[in-house]
A and B are shown apart, each in its own frame.
Chain A
Amino acid sequence: MWSHFKQEKKAMLSLLFLILLLILSIGNTFLYDGEIRRVSLLFDEGAQVQAPPFAPSLEFPFGTDRKGYDLLHLIIEGAKWTIGASVLITLLRIISGLFIGILIGRMPHKLFKFIESFFDSFTVVPMTMIAYFLLMNVLVFANGTVPDPFYQRVAFEIIILTLLAVPTLAFYMSNEIRLILSEEYVTASRILGGSKKHILRKHVSVHMIPVVMILFMQQFVQVLVILVHLGVLNVFFGGTIVFFQGDVDSVTHEWTGLLGLYYQSIMGHPWIPLVPIIFFTLTIISSNFILVGIERAYEKEKVKFKSLPKNSEFPMETMKNKSKEKRFTFISSKYSKDKPI
């Protein structure tokens, strides 16, 4: 898989970009102690004093914000929080989705249907809306009041953003596992005396790994988009401080905070909010390219199997089409079973 993935130039480049961003960000904390370059006054050619915000220039490639902080530096410092948190949330989503998916897949059919109907509204109602509704009550606090400790607020946000996606993911995964279990080779294995554990380890997990990887990238993008939306709505990662004048401030330097804080100045100093938006966009584009890279590598891997003479009788063609279709049935995959045409 990896050898095929290496050949995908765009995907490798994207991976490199994300890794570089993370290394720079972590390096900034260790080498500079998280300090951010700040210039409060500048002299232009006529020796006139100029105050921030400074527009993008040679010295500040992305300009500075209203307090004179270098925006590029801010973005790099914040990258590890935003990307790190998104990766963590995505990982938790996938792991709990897989775990619960296996669990509900073993339930009797009636109970499964009951749970499915119970969480049906999750599949149509926007996640940002639910997340905002729940987080608004906990993460926004007035300046001067004693909020809950920082790590608790972060943990709460991570848990909420994880739990909101678990129902849909769990149903998707359990359907996917059910499809694998209905394959002929699984029946053959069972007839030959393979235990449940054996089938899970030798057959299901092998086919689930690429599915999980693809889901991981999809979910990563989804988490990033939700964080952007929440940032615009002034719910920042790690909490929002509301000042008396209605001003808001973010606790860490992560991107959603930057975005939400500077959004008001979009018409006056457009580069300030645009910088975090552009970095978000770059991260999402990179993730999508990596996703496509993984998908292509996966397809190639299958073709490799197909060319083996041993498996020439194996109906790979139909399987390939099936998996292609399945990928688009992300949430409503249950309909694909009684697909009419």
Chain B
Amino acid sequence: MVKNVLATSLGIVSQFTIAILGIICLGALPGLFNGLKLNFSQYFITIKELLINLSEPSKLTYSYGNRLLFPEILIRYQETFIVFILSFFFSILLAIIIVYFLMGVKERTLNTFKSIFLFLESIPDILLIVSMQFFIVWLYKKTNILFVNIAAAGDEKVRALPILALSIPTTIMFIKLLLLRFQTEFEKNYILLAKSKGLGKFKLFYNHVLRNVLLSLFFFTKTSIWFMLSNLYIIEYFFNSIGILIFVKDYNTIEVFTVSLLLIYLPIFIYLQIFKMVTPKLIKEVV
């Protein structure tokens, strides 16, 4: 038992070290290009310099070496994190509610909904963002009330619209995933048994299906996280937020990029590892 735990934790640590190595090699890539030519010796020098710089995080700077990186980047990081987490849970909740109602409709109506989702999914996020901003401005012109801020100025924080803008594509993605899972789950035998015992629709949905589906849904979070972060990048740009993704864009030096990548990657890695460890136990309890 102890040996087993030791082995897995060693595996995780080595996996993490290799992944960090990958991030550092990725961050140092601009050093590889001298104009459009490849320069490998320069690349190795860049990696070495980057490693030296990273070993003293408190001395890292941004904006042409004028300001210290460290407290600032964490503030930005927190902003992105809040928007991300809020819209993640909002989307999941909304998707579950919508799917609950969709499970009750007929096959044909469901197909219509599926094409609508396909259509909505195809709309690029910038069109979505631009139309949202137009809509708010139009409302403002009509009613003279600015419901939410459409863009941040200075150190202001805009959260409502970015969260909404991020939630729309994310919800559609979750609905798509959940519908498929629910449909396969509802074909299983235990559902038939529960139905024959006279369980209500809501109880069946909430007590049995949702539990099994949610666990498997969380297995696919890597794709979801990637998808959400890609959207969030452009959303932060449009709403002029002060998140970390746009911080990387504005100050795109090698150090800022690498530190940000590490900051983004670390919690996701930890989350996935914990999930991997905990799930088998959870599943046993459910069964």
Contact = CB atoms under 8 A, between A and B. Distances in A.
B146 to A, nearest CB: 15
Interface in A300-341: 321, 324-325, 328-332, 335-336, 339-341
Q: How many residues of B sit at the interface, in one of the four size bands?
A: 35 or more
A182 interface: no
Name the residue among A114, A119, A124, A288 with the largest chain B CB count within 10 angstroms: A124
A328 B220 contact: yes
Q: Shortest 4 CB-CB distances between A and B: which pairs?
A: A117-B18, A126-B230, A285-B122, A332-B222
Contacts of A336: 219
B117 to A, nearest CB: 11
A339 B153 CA distance: 47
A335 B279 CA distance: 12
A137 interface: yes
Interface of A: 113-114, 117-130, 132-134, 136-138, 148, 152-153, 156, 221, 225, 228-229, 232-233, 266-267, 270, 273-274, 277-278, 280-281, 284-285, 287-289, 292, 321, 324-325, 328-332, 335-336, 339-341
B104 interface: no
Contacts of B268: 124
25 contacts: A117-B14, A119-B22, A122-B22, A123-B222, A124-B264, A125-B261, A126-B232, A129-B249, A132-B252, A133-B30, A134-B30, A136-B252, A225-B125, A233-B249, A266-B130, A277-B130, A278-B127, A284-B123, A284-B124, A288-B118, A288-B121, A289-B118, A328-B223, A329-B223, A332-B221
A271 B135 CA distance: 15
Nearest to B279: A340
B123 A281 contact: yes
Given A132-B252, A233-B237, A340-B283, 10 more contacts: A127-B230, A134-B33, A228-B124, A232-B126, A270-B134, A277-B127, A284-B124, A325-B184, A328-B180, A339-B216
A128 B184 CA distance: 34
A121 B219 contact: no
B35 interface: yes
B225 interface: yes
Interface of A is mostly: helix
B215 interface: yes
A335 B234 CA distance: 29
Contacts of B166: none
B19 A229 contact: no
Given A126-B230, A129-B249, A121 B265 contact: yes
A121 B23 CA distance: 7
Name the residue among A136, A281, A339 with the largest chain B CB count within 10 angstroms: A281
Nearest to A156: B36
B226 interface: yes
A121 B216 contact: no
B127 to A, nearest CB: 5
Contact of A332 (B14, B212, B223, B230): B223
A122 B264 CA distance: 12
B182 interface: no
Interface in B236-287: 237-238, 245, 248-249, 252, 257, 261, 264-265, 268-269, 279-280, 283
Name the residue among B221, B233, B264, B283 with the largest chain A CB count within 10 angstroms: B233
B216 A133 contact: no
